[in-house]
Amino acid sequence: MSAEESTSDITEGTYRALCKYGYADVTMEDIAAETDKSKSALHYHYDSKHDLLVSFFDDLLEGFTERLDAVEGETAYERLVSLIDTILLPPDDDAPDRGFQTAVLEMKAQGPYDEAFRQHLQAHDRTLRDHVEKHLAAGVESGEFRADLDVEASADFLVTVFNGAQTRSVAVGRPVEETRETLRAHIDSMIVADGVQSEPPRSAVGRAAPVRARVQPGGTGPHRGGIAKPLFILAIPIVITNLFQTAYNLADTFWVGRYSTDALAAISFAFPMVFLLISLGMGLSVAGSVLIAQNIGAGDERQADYAASQTVSFAVVVSIVLGAVGYFVVDTLVQIYGASPDVRPLAVDYMEVISLGLVFMFGFFVFISLMRGAGDTVTPMVVMGISVVVNIVLDPFLIFGFENNPLFAIIGMSGLEEQLFAMTGYTGDGLRGAAIATIFSRALAFVIGLGIMFRGNQGVQIRLGDMAPDPEFAKRILEIGVPASVEGVGRALSVNLLLIVVGLFATPVVSAYGIGTRVLSVVFMPAIAMARGVETMSGQNIGADKPDRAAATAAFASKASFLILSAVGVIAFVWAEPIVSIFVGADQPDAGRVIEVGAQFMRFVAPTFGFMGIMRAYNGSFRGAGKTTTAAIISVGTLMVFRLPVAWLGSQTFSLGSDGLWLSFALSNAFGATLAYLWYQRGTWRDVSLDRTPGPTPGDD
Residue 204 has pLDDT above 50, yes or no: no
- Mean pLDDT calculated for residue range 76-89: 83
CA angle 614, 617, 622 (to 5 degrees): 125
Residue 632 has pLDDT above 50, yes or no: yes
pLDDT of amino acid 500: 84
Out of 42-51, 333-342, 686-695, give the one with best mean pLDDT: 333-342
Q: How far apart are CA 255 and CA 257, in angstroms?
A: 5
pLDDT tens sequence across 121-159: 888 888 888 888 898 998 888 888 888 888 888 888 888
Q: How far apart are CA 295 and CA 39, in angstroms?
A: 59
pLDDT of amino acid 98: 57
pLDDT of amino acid 210: 32
Q: How far apart are CA 197 and CA 440, in angstroms?
A: 38
Cα–Cα nearest to 479, from 275, 679, 688, 213: 688
pLDDT tens sequence across 251-260: 777 888 888 8
pLDDT of amino acid 462: 92
pLDDT of amino acid 207: 33
pLDDT of amino acid 513: 87
* DSSP per-residue codes, 60-90: HHHHHHHHHHT---SSHHHHHHHHHHHHHS-
Contact 449, 363 (CB under 8 A): yes
Q: What is the mean pLDDT of the chain?
A: 82
In this prediction, residue 561 has a pLDDT band, given cuts at 50, 70 and 90, of very high
Calculate the dihedral angle through the C-alpha atoms of 617, 621, 626, 630, rounding to the nearest 10 degrees.
-50
Beta-carbon neighbour count of residue 361 at 10 Å? 25
- Mean pLDDT calculated for residue range 668-687: 91
From residue 506, how far is each of 27, 333, 334, 509, 590 by CA, in Å? 98, 19, 16, 6, 11
Dmax over CA atoms of the chain, in Å, equals 115
In this prediction, residue 283 has a pLDDT band, given cuts at 50, 70 and 90, of confident
Q: How far apart are CA 570 and CA 365, in angstroms?
A: 31
Contact 193, 79 (CB under 8 A): no
Contact 606, 565 (CB under 8 A): no
Map out the domains of the chain with their CATH numbers. 46-212 (1.10.357.10), 228-686 (no CATH)
Q: How far apart are CA 58 and CA 308, in angstroms?
A: 52
Q: How far apart are CA 556 and CA 55, in angstroms?
A: 55
pLDDT of amino acid 205: 34
DSSP state of 342: T
pLDDT of amino acid 92: 44
Q: How far apart are CA 628 and CA 621, in angstroms?
A: 9
In this prediction, residue 394 has a pLDDT band, given cuts at 50, 70 and 90, of very high
pLDDT of amino acid 189: 78
Contact 86, 219 (CB under 8 A): no
Q: How far apart are CA 385 and CA 381, in angstroms?
A: 6
Contact 361, 442 (CB under 8 A): yes
> Quick one: which H or E segment has residue 430?
helix 430-455
DSSP state of 697: P
In this prediction, residue 371 has a pLDDT band, given cuts at 50, 70 and 90, of very high
pLDDT tens sequence across 208-223: 333 333 333 333 455 5
pLDDT tens sequence across 479-528: 888 898 888 888 877 877 888 888 888 888 888 888 888 788 778 888 88
Q: Say if pTM beats, i.e. exceeds, 0.85.
A: no
Contact 310, 291 (CB under 8 A): no
3-state per-residue secondary structure call for 658-693: HHHHHHHHHHHHHHHHHHHHHHHHCCHHHCCCCCCC
Residue 202 has pLDDT above 50, yes or no: no
* DSSP per-residue codes, 101-150: HHHHHHHHTTTTT-HHHHHHHHHHHHHHHHHHHHHHHHHHHHTSB-TT--
Calculate the dihedral angle through the C-alpha atoms of 687, 289, 324, 427, rounding to the nearest 10 degrees.
140
Contact 517, 598 (CB under 8 A): no
Contact 535, 631 (CB under 8 A): no
Q: How far apart are CA 348 and CA 335, in angstroms?
A: 10
Share of the chain above pLDDT 90, in %: 22
pLDDT of amino acid 440: 94
